[in-house]
Amino acid sequence: MSLVTVEGLSIRYGGKTALRGVDLSIEPGEIVTIVGPNGSGKTTLLRAVIGALRPASGRVRLKPGLRLGYVPQRLHIDPTLPITVGRFLALPHRAPHGARRAALQRAGVPDLMDRQMSGLSGGQFQRVLLARALIGDPEILLLDEATQGLDQPGSAAFYRQIEAVRAETGCAVLMISHELHVVMAASDRVICLNGHVCCEGSPAVVASAPEYRALFGTGTGGALALYRHDHDHDHSHDHAAE
Amino acid sequence: MDLLGDFMTRATLAGMGVALAAAPLGSFVVWRRMAYFGDATAHAAMLGVALSLAFGMSIFAGALVVAFTMALTVNALTGRGYAMDTLLGVMAHSALAFGLVAVSFLSGVRIDLMAYLFGDILAVSRLDLAVIWGGAAVVAGLIAWRWSALLTATLNADLAYASGIDPRREQLVLTVALAVTVAVAIKVVGVLLIAAMLIIPAAAARPLARSPEAMAVIAGAIGAGSAIVGLRAAFVLDTPAGPTIVCCAALAFAGTSLWRRAPLG
């Protein structure tokens, strides 16, 4: 059965409707990316899936006993809170040392166990968050803009890591990203969200859908060109036209 | 020899009891930036003192009820239009003011207001001691029981939800613990300095700790040490006991901060 099933989900948030009538299901092992402009309800949708938001109508069903790993958009650890990476990975459930080390290895940061969380670089921090999500052998990973604050090579490396994790463990991935060209290349399915589901399907289908083009455009700087890796165009004409 | 017969012994034990309950709770207060919340709850307890005196209840019960009501109200009202600090400022100082006014109406009783504002640790009775250690045990037990969930919810609410923890429930646990701590600490340091016993030992422990557990334990040691040294100093220098204890904790804070310059937010 599906890992996550969302049926007719509407969420009201601060007196406004953030999502209306969203249907969605995630199957085992697939990588699904949610794209959409700012304020389109991407994070709201993910927060509803983890149970942080109550639906105004519709519902979210998780496979009974679903093991999920969640990587939040931003995690601020107050500098007054001393905590090592190893201790952080053991929250809230004491995971054995071996499992924590394996998770760090899988997330590509094997040597950070005894470091303080406050001393990590942005990229290390995100990978530690990924490692924590991987503990307990999740059936699905939920990532909310997990590469925020990383530079382009850093985020590309991060997404390669996600693909490697999926290949190794077979877990499904539901993620949100702004970096269309990177994530669309890695996704099995893309969902374009703008308060409701505008369009969905394979990356190529979504990239050519009129709803998607209306939101993101089709210019040479757009995601479509990058996704197809067209290198036969001239970047300078954009600036010349301005 | 009757160990508890000596008022200094009782005072020292009372101070240590409060310090041990305040340490783990105070650590969360610091991590979650709830310092003003602790202060407000403590100030509001003055109204509880006035009500207790008016109705002949125990001070502990009156303070507990008002502190708890105050904390729950603030919890419930947060995020409904007012900023947390505005709300706390209104409620805490109103409760303190109403409490002081209410006390003035109690003409039949001669009340030493200073005893409630700054504590009266040298007058701690055996019953007080039992209440303080009982309350401290409840607070320490509650926090130990919820430790992992509290810590997860403190790091990030959504991370807690994703792990099946309701952060609002954990916030409630802290609120209850705070109300109990305020109620038992009135006799020891008074309503004006309770927040100091929560925050200062925890902040003093920060530069010395590498894990959250270590910070809570070191804070307990600093708090208990401040109680012992502060009482002794108050006796020798003939200074008010509660404030002297807080002064010792403050010196410990200055010492650890200088000793190792750690990032303090």
Residues B143 and B150: beta-carbon distance below 8 Å: yes
Residue A234 clears pLDDT 80, i.e. is over it: no
Q: In CATH, which of 1.10.8, 2.40.10, 1.10.287, 1.10.1200 is domain A74-136?
A: 1.10.8
Per the structure block, which two tokens stand in for A60?
Answer: 């979210």
**For position A206, what pLDDT does the model report?**
81
User: B263 or A68: whose pLDDT is higher?
Assistant: A68
Residues of B in contact with A75 (CB under 8 A): 155-156, 159
Nearest CB to B31; choose among A52, A75, A80: A80
Pairs of CB atoms within 8 A across A/B = 76
Question: What is chain B's length?
Answer: 265
Residues A140 and A172: beta-carbon distance below 8 Å: yes
- B155 interfacial to chain A (CB closer than 8 Å): yes
Tell me whether residues B206 and A77 touch, CB distance under 8 A.
Answer: no
Quote the percentage of chain A above a pLDDT of 90. 41
Per the structure block, which two tokens stand in for B29?
Answer: 């207060």
Residues of B in contact with A130 (CB under 8 A): none
Chain B 33-72, residues with CB within 8 Å of chain A CB atoms? 33
- A87 interfacial to chain B (CB closer than 8 Å): yes
Minimal-distance CA residue of chain A relative to B161? A52
Could you tell me the residue ranges of all domains in chain A? 1-67+140-157+171-230, 74-136
Tell me whether residues B148 and A93 touch, CB distance under 8 A.
Answer: yes
- A78 interfacial to chain B (CB closer than 8 Å): yes
Of A6-10, A220-224, B250-254, least confident by mean pLDDT is A220-224
Best of A49, A78, A91, A117 to mutate (most B CBs within 10 Å, chain B): A91
Distance from CA of B112 to the nearest CA of A (A): 38
Crossing angle of helices B194-205 and B7-31, rounded to 10°: 70
Residues of B in contact with A78 (CB under 8 A): 30-33, 265
Residues of A in contact with B209 (CB under 8 A): 82
Per the structure block, which two tokens stand in for B28?
Answer: 């969360």
> For B145-158, what is the mean pLDDT?
94
Distance from CA of B61 to the nearest CA of A (A): 33
The CATH code that applies to domain A1-67+140-157+171-230 is 3.40.50.300
Distance from CA of B170 to the nearest CA of A (A): 13
Nearest CB to B265; choose among A72, A79, A92: A79
> For A34-62, what is the mean pLDDT?
91
**For position A91, what pLDDT does the model report?**
87
Q: Residue A223's pLDDT band (boundaries 50, 70, 90)?
A: very low
Nearest CB to B211; choose among A47, A84, A93: A84
Q: Residue B152's pLDDT band (boundaries 50, 70, 90)?
A: very high
Chain B 196-235, residues with CB within 8 Å of chain A CB atoms? 203, 206, 209-212, 214-215
pTM of the full structure: 0.86
Could you tell me the residue ranges of all domains in chain B? 3-194
Longest dimension (CA), chain B: 60
Which of B78, B83, B119 has the alpha carbon at shortest distance from B245?
Answer: B119
pLDDT, tens digit, for every residue of B198-212? 999 999 999 999 999
* Element at A216 (helix H, strand E): helix A210-216
**For position A163, what pLDDT does the model report?**
86
Per the structure block, which two tokens stand in for B129?
Answer: 């001691």
- A83 interfacial to chain B (CB closer than 8 Å): yes
Minimal-distance CA residue of chain A relative to B203? A80
If you search the block for the tokens 């995690």, which residue do you land on? Answer: A75
pLDDT, tens digit, for every residue of A187-210? 889 998 889 998 888 888 887 888
Per the structure block, which two tokens stand in for B233?
Answer: 């100093």
Does the domain at B3-194 match CATH 1.10.3470.10? Answer given as: yes
Q: How far apart are CA A40 and CA A51, in angstroms?
A: 19
How do beta strands A31-35 and A197-201 pair? unpaired
Nearest CB to A80; choose among B30, B164, B211: B30
* ipTM summary value: 0.83
Residue A179 clears pLDDT 50, i.e. is over it: yes
- A81 interfacial to chain B (CB closer than 8 Å): yes
Task: For residue A94, count other CB atoms closer than 10 A to its CB.
Answer: 10
**For position A23, what pLDDT does the model report?**
93
Minimal-distance CA residue of chain B relative to A132? B159
Buried b / exposed e over A123-137, threshold 16 CB at 10 Å, is bbbbbbbbbbbbbee
Tell me whether residues B151 and A77 touch, CB distance under 8 A.
Answer: no
Q: Residue B2's pLDDT band (boundaries 50, 70, 90)?
A: low
Of A37-41, A214-218, B21-25, B51-55, least confident by mean pLDDT is A214-218
Residues A26 and A174: beta-carbon distance below 8 Å: yes
pLDDT, tens digit, for every residue of A122-170? 888 988 999 999 998 899 999 998 887 777 888 888 888 888 888 888 9
pLDDT, tens digit, for every residue of B39-90? 888 888 888 888 888 888 888 899 999 988 887 887 777 666 677 778 888 8
Which of A130, A151, A140, A145 has the alpha carbon at shortest distance from A176?
Answer: A145
Nearest CB to B264; choose among A80, A84, A88: A80
**For position B51, what pLDDT does the model report?**
85
Best of B147, B148, B159 to mutate (most A CBs within 10 Å, chain A): B159
Burial (CB < 10 A; 0-12, 13-18, 19+), residue A27, is middle
Residue A54 clears pLDDT 80, i.e. is over it: yes
Best of A68, A83, A134 to mutate (most B CBs within 10 Å, chain B): A83
- A26 interfacial to chain B (CB closer than 8 Å): no
